[in-house]
């Protein structure tokens, strides 16, 4: 069977207007960030800050769960008709993407499958049938969903005649019954789907795949849990297992329930739990990506080695050549950057940071990754030069803006750029960046018959006949425009670039390196033993080393103050430009 990744799974989380102020946001900020095709499904209430499918003619209460399930599944299939699997659960569940992908990889997604665990038993119309509990969720294969869709209107008409489905809101029981009634499909049992929190096992009795009523043990790699509080969701997201609730925990949960539901302070409550209970450690949810070919493979190897030596604990996704099917460097210069970020997200990573192959890590990049986690994206603006000076006429036409307006847009740096699945705006920007990378025009900037070297300094006016244009910067130009379009704030970059450190290890571009710098840049990717020459105090000894340390200390505070002032100025420029880009 083919290996399943999170991008192969469309997730439907049914919720209600009441829970839009509580669990829905916690779902989006914790486990659902690992599923690029995960969506909350509600009734008539809509919240633009959530990855949400709204059903205008559906009520917002517990008993509307059954129509939300079927109508939401229909909407999700129409949105992702080629997705291999569809997974359904409620907003008080928590899903671990890796064990779920491992489970679904065992089954042929081209066949009709209905998979879940913790079976329940009901009798309807004198027929006993089993179905997986819907709290922790269950999976349906694409062919089965496609086969079910023509029956949904009929199912919705029948639901009010069933007390269990209509007045008790047992949507999981409804799914099992109608799949059996109309399609003759029975569920396939799997371990790992738990209907309660981790500390309650072994506990509930359930029906297993052999029809035995047993007590369910806790396995090593659970797929999903159910009936979790907000606090417990953030604890699970941090990589820990929540313990049995103490009196203090119950008080905290009650206060958070009151604040989020009664006072509707969903952002405040979730932010507090994310800070207090959510770990900021760099774990398997983080991924640093890079694509390199030719001589830059040396730089990529150096980057990977430096990350290990500096104690980076997350994953890396490094390609030593441009993957098949992606545009070549000549077709789309650096077009692999957004595509590599998108591929990492497809594989289930929640926080993805692109780092150029000519970068070297000199400290564990905790600050950059924390900033990415906090803001939903990471971007730096170091040059403070107009994007319009480095944008070809061809690309400017793709953006649909004038040259004068482009000269008011600040150019950003694409040496490292981070995207988080917790931020819908960041995902939308990434989609557009990928679109520009694949169109064969925007990144290249000039016709295919001309060499890319013509873009370096606008040789022979190939880039533009406008004398103000100095050249074209491919991926960076497109990113700068999109950062402006989506109003990304100019973040204080914790890393400072030092261009082209020489083979002897001397820094000719500064007498110090700020104490919070986590990456430096060296275009000399062929230098042997480069890492041995770089440490946080430079390459000096004696008085020179003391001087270097003092200057590094002063520069750290200078840089922070400088960026605060500069960012305010640049943000004021943003406000003066037309808002209808």
Q: What is the pLDDT of residue 495?
A: 43
pLDDT per residue as tens digits for the range 191-204: 889 888 888 876 66
With beta carbons less than 8 A apart as the criterion, state whether 226 and 196 touch. Answer: yes
pLDDT per residue as tens digits for the range 346-359: 888 889 999 999 88
Pairwise pLDDT comparison (571 vs 62), residue with the higher score: 62
Domains held by the chain: number: 2
3-class secondary-structure state, position 417: strand
Sign of CA dihedral 271, 275, 279, 284: positive
Tell whether 482 is covered by a domain. Answer: yes
Under 8 Å CB-to-CB from 42, ≥6 apart: which residues?
14, 15, 16, 17, 20, 24, 52, 53, 54, 55, 58, 60, 68
- Whether residues 365 and 512 share a domain: the answer is yes
Tell whether 1 is covered by a domain. Answer: no
| Dihedral pair phi/psi, residue 407, rounded to 5° | -75, -5
Q: What is the pLDDT of residue 14?
A: 87
Global confidence as pTM: 0.69
- Whether residues 296 and 244 share a domain: the answer is no
Residue 216 Rama label (left phi>0; alpha psi -120 to 50; beta): beta
pLDDT of 390 above 60 = yes
What is the DSSP pairing of strand 351-355 with strand 413-420?
Answer: antiparallel
Tell whether 189 is covered by a domain. Answer: yes
Q: How far apart are CA 409 and CA 415, in angstroms?
A: 18
Averaged pLDDT of the chain: 82
- Whether residues 249 and 133 share a domain: the answer is yes
Q: What is the pLDDT of residue 122?
A: 87
> Domain ends where: 245, 276, 307?
276
- Whether residues 61 and 165 share a domain: the answer is yes
> Can you give the residue range of the structural domain that contains 249?
6-276
What's 41's domain CATH number? 3.90.550
> Domain ends where: 211, 244, 276?
276
> Domain ends where: 236, 253, 276?
276
Q: Please work out, in degrees rounded to the nearest 5, the angle formed at the alpha carbon of residue 185 by the alpha carbons of 184 and 188.
A: 155
Q: What is the pLDDT of residue 525?
A: 60
Pairwise pLDDT comparison (561 vs 476), residue with the higher score: 476
Q: What is the pLDDT of residue 574?
A: 47
pLDDT per residue as tens digits for the range 119-133: 888 888 888 898 998
Pairwise pLDDT comparison (399 vs 123), residue with the higher score: 399
Q: How far apart are CA 280 and CA 288, in angstroms?
A: 16
Tell whether 433 is covered by a domain. Answer: yes
- Whether residues 345 and 396 share a domain: the answer is yes
**Tokens 């929190």 sit at which residue?**
197
Residue of 419, 416, 384, 399 whose CA lies nearest to 478: 399
- Whether residues 295 and 224 share a domain: the answer is no
pLDDT of 494 above 50 = no
User: What tokens does 446 get?
Assistant: 């000039």
- Across 175-179, 205-209, 381-385, 419-423, the highest mean pLDDT is recorded for 175-179
The residue-averaged pLDDT of 206-215 equals 74
Tell whether 242 is covered by a domain. Answer: yes
Tell whether 281 is covered by a domain. Answer: no
Question: Cβ of 302: how many Cβ atoms within 10 Å?
Answer: 22
Q: What is the pLDDT of residue 581?
A: 39
Cis peptide before 202 (omega within 30 of 0): yes
């Amino acid at each position: 069977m083919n290996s399943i990744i999170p991008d192969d799974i469309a997730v439907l989380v049914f919720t209600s207007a009441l829970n839009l102020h509580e669990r829905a946001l916690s779902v989006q900020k914790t486990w659902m960030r690992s599923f690029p095709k995960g969506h909350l499904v509600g009734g008539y209430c809509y919240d633009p800050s959530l990855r949400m499918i709204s059903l205008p003619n559906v009520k917002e209460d517990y008993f509307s769960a059954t129509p939300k399930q079927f109508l939401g599944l229909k909407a999700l299939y129409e949105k992702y008709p080629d997705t291999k699997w569809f997974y359904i659960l409620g907003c008080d569940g928590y899903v671990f993407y890796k064990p779920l992908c491992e489970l679904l990889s065992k089954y042929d997604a081209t066949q009709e499958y209905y998979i879940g665990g913790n079976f329940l038993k009901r009798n309807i119309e004198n027929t006993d049938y089993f179905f997986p509990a819907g709290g922790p969720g269950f999976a349906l294969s694409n062919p089965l969903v496609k086969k079910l869709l023509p029956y949904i209107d009929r199912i919705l008409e029948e639901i009010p005649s069933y007390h269990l489905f209509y007045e008790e809101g047992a949507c999981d029981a409804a799914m099992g019954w109608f799949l059996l009634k109309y399609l003759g499909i029975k569920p396939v049992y799997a371990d790992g789907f738990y209907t309660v929190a981790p500390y309650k096992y072994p506990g509930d009795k359930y029906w297993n795949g052999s029809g035995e009523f047993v007590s369910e043990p806790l396995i090593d790699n659970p797929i999903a849990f159910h009936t979790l509080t907000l606090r417990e969701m953030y604890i699970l997201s941090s990589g820990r297992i929540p313990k049995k609730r103490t009196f203090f925990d119950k008080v905290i949960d009650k206060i958070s329930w009151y604040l989020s539901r009664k006072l509707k302070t969903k952002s405040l409550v979730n932010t507090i739990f994310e800070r207090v209970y959510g770990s900021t450690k760099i774990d398997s949810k983080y991924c640093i990506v890079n694509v390199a070919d030719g001589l830059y493979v040396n730089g990529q190897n150096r980057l990977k080695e430096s990350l290990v030596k500096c104690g980076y604990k997350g994953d890396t996704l490094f390609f030593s050549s441009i993957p098949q099917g992606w545009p070549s460097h000549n077709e789309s210069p650096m077009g692999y950057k957004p595509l590599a970020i998108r591929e990492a997200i497809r594989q289930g990573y929640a926080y993805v940071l692109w780092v150029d192959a000519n970068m070297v890590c000199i400290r564990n990049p905790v600050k950059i990754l924390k900033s990415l986690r906090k803001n939903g994206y990471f971007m730096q603006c170091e040059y403070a030069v107009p994007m319009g000076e480095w944008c070809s006429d061809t690309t400017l036409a793709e953006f649909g803006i004038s040259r004068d307006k482009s000269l008011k847009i600040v150019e950003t740096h694409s040496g490292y750029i981070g995207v988080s699945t917790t931020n819908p705006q960041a995902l939308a920007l990434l989609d557009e960046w990928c679109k520009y990378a694949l169109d064969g025009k925007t990144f290249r900037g000039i016709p295919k018959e001309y060499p890319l070297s013509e873009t370096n300094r606008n040789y022979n006016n190939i880039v533009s006949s406008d004398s103000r244009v100095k050249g074209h910067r491919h991926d960076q130009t497109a990113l700068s425009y999109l950062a402006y379009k989506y109003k990304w704030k100019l973040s204080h970059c914790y890393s400072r670039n030092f261009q082209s450190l020489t083979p002897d290890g001397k820094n000719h571009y500064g007498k110090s390196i700020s104490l919070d710098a986590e990456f430096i840049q060296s275009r000399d990717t062929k230098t042997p033993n480069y890492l041995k020459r770089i440490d946080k105090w430079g390459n000096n000894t004696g008085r020179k080393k003391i001087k270097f340390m003092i200057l590094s200390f002063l520069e750290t505070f200078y840089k922070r103050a400088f960026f605060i002032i500069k960012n305010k100025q640049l943000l004021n420029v943003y406000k003066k430009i037309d808002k209808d880009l």
